[in-house]
Amino acid sequence: MRDDTMVGDDVGLSIAYGGPLPPAPAEGAGVGDWLRHWTSRGTGVAVEDGLRRLTYAELDALADRTADALRDRVRPGDVVGVRLERSVELVATALAVVRLGAVYLPLGPNFGAQRLDLVRRTVRVACVVAAADAGGTDPDRIPLPAAPGPDARATVAAFTPVPSEAAPVPADTGYVVLTSGTSGTPRAIAVGQDALAALVRWYHHHAGLGPGEKHSLLINPAFDPHVMELFATLCSGATLAVTPGEACWDPYLLTSWWARAEVTVSNLPTPIADLVLARPWPADLRLRHLGIGGERLRRWPGPDVTATVHNMYGPAEATVTSVVCRLSGRADQADPPPIGAPVAGAVVCVTNAAGRTVARGEPGELRIGGSGLSLACFGDRGGAPFVAPPPELADLDRVYPTGDRVRMGSDGVLEFLGRVDDQVKVSGVRVEPAEVEVALERDPGVARAAVVATSSPAGLRLTAFVQPRPGCRIDADEVLSGVRGWLPEQAVPAVLRVVDPMPVTANGKTDRAALADLVSTPAGSPQDTEGLTEQQRLVLAVCRDLLDRPETTLDDHFAEIGGNSLMAARLLAALENATGTRLRASALLRQPDLAGIAALLDGVPVAASRPTRDG
């Protein structure tokens, strides 16, 4: 349970230390040296991507050619944005950035143009690498070398003038990652090369990576956990297996791919892990190590799960993972799994509102110190969001207050209790409601916006309330479409409601309690189910429940009423549970409306719900 944790001398206080960092995965002083160690050997498969297989020698050559193409324009310390999907091209670009001594900024393929403009004004981005067919109007573009083998995808590097207000990142930055900010702009977090190296050393040892192992590249490349997957795997001489698109969120396709690709190590966002653990565990998997993180995990693995499962927790400001818990060896599994104890190099404490360490067993805010803390933060509030450590940790120069409420047990293991502020997590992504509200208020017809997060069967769901400007008419679809360029997908509200006036409290602040009451009030009348087929009634009932949207009708398009990939996975699971028939994700997503989804089940009898692992 404690994962090699060392507690402090005074075990009565909520302080715990991770053990010392394990040995490096290869010769050399850091990630660049470790990558060169394995690529110079040239043996073994480095990356699998569909039908493409690149050996370490081939990946080495592609990374060198990519670095050479950028060398005249990208200097050491420059930030390189990468808008690529999980692919050989993404991996080669990341290695090329390291070889140039530049800074990797993962953006993901669907990063909005307006949001990118905000980022460019926050930190100095030298160029952005994207698919050649991804569009864009940047006139200064250079092609990058193509990968060997079939299905090569052309990529380009686009250069734009750097705004004068953009800040340089510290000289020893390894990568930059973006999170949601409270002021309406993203927060850019600069993670040092030493912190990245510490993460790789810990995870290499923790997951048992080395030649012969195969690790999935599954996490969305817009988020920092994929950095751990990518660099730790290739710094260990293992194989990185690119997860096919739909398998990233469909539990059936994912476990089938794990078996087919003979994956041995994988990480999953918590919402997808919950669906995977709800299904019977396939007997033909080679998967031996599974990490889960991003949100509160509420499910323990069942006795049929043959992989060792770890619950992982860590904010981006502390480099991906700060505490971890092995989910085994516990007879009483009535309570949700704990988040665990600190990883190697980390120090954690639980404090009260005054910043003093509380006794074990008392709740408080989790604060993190040690080798994983980032160097600096840009945008949002500006500066590094660190504070002085409590007196009991005077050997540390700073700690990061996470904003998460936890409780430390007598064994040093942390239990997650919730948040101390307004921040929420939607599908594993940190979202500041204030940033969503600012994006909504960019619409010229919106005078005021407020966002409320409520629980639904598919997890937290954002509902936006907007007050129109005098004389303006609000089209909900148009407003939501407009914010997609400013926000990550997970931060786009599922529903937008117009209120006029916005309810306020006695002191003039937005009355969020009143808005939360409105969330449960249907915006329209539900469609009468009389005369519908049993398949139509099933689809309608499941979608209303999943989306917490009683007004849903069969004419609605799933994606347009708030359905995302996670909800689609839950919809597939619910339909299979009720009918015994498993629809393909691609077929479901192609349907023009819910009636089309119901038509896929024509003639299939609807039975009583089958039991899940929860009973």
Of the candidates 104, 120, 30, which has an alpha carbon nearest to the alpha carbon of residue 70? 104
Alpha carbons 59 and 45: distance in angstroms, whole number: 9
Residue percentage of the chain with pLDDT more than 90: 61
- Per-residue tokens: 141: 């573009």
Alpha carbons 119 and 166: distance in angstroms, whole number: 9
Sheet holding 214-217, edge to edge: 52-55, 45-49, 239-242, 214-217, 265-269, 289-293, 308-313, 323-326, 341-342
Res 11: pLDDT = 63
Determine the average pLDDT of the residues in 162-176.
Answer: 96
Res 611: pLDDT = 38
- At 230-265, the pLDDT tens digits run 999 999 999 999 999 899 989 999 999 999 999 999
- At 405-419, the pLDDT tens digits run 899 999 999 999 888
Kindly state the helix (H) or strand (E) to which residue 484 belongs, with its residue range. Answer: none
- At 484-527, the pLDDT tens digits run 888 888 889 988 889 888 887 766 667 888 888 887 655 444 56
Determine the average pLDDT of the residues in 343-372.
Answer: 95
Q: Is the pLDDT score of 615 beyond 50?
A: no
Q: Give every CB contact of residue 147 below 8 A, 6+ residues apart in sequence.
A: 52, 54, 62, 88, 89, 92, 153
Determine the average pLDDT of the residues in 110-123.
Answer: 92
- At 516-535, the pLDDT tens digits run 888 765 544 456 677 899 99
**Is 362 within 8 Å of 407 (Cβ atoms)?**
yes
Alpha carbons 340 and 330: distance in angstroms, whole number: 13
Res 358: pLDDT = 96
Kindly state the helix (H) or strand (E) to which residue 294 belongs, with its residue range. Answer: none
Res 335: pLDDT = 79
- Per-residue tokens: 355: 């910043």
For the chain, percent helix, then strand, then coil, each to nearest 5?
A: 30, 25, 45
Give me the sign of the Cα torsion angle 38, 39, 43, 45: positive
Determine the average pLDDT of the residues in 114-141.
Answer: 89
Alpha carbons 584 and 6: distance in angstroms, whole number: 48
Q: Give every CB contact of residue 428 below 8 A, 6+ residues apart in sequence.
A: 223, 269, 270, 271, 293, 294, 295, 490
Determine the average pLDDT of the residues in 85-90.
Answer: 97
Res 609: pLDDT = 45
- Mean per-residue pLDDT over the chain, rounded: 89
- Per-residue tokens: 293: 């993180």
Of the candidates 390, 393, 492, which has an alpha carbon nearest to the alpha carbon of residue 433? 492
- The full DSSP string for 530-589 is TT--HHHHHHHHHHHHHHT-TT--TTS-TGGGT--HHHHHHHHHHHHHHHS-PPPHHHHH
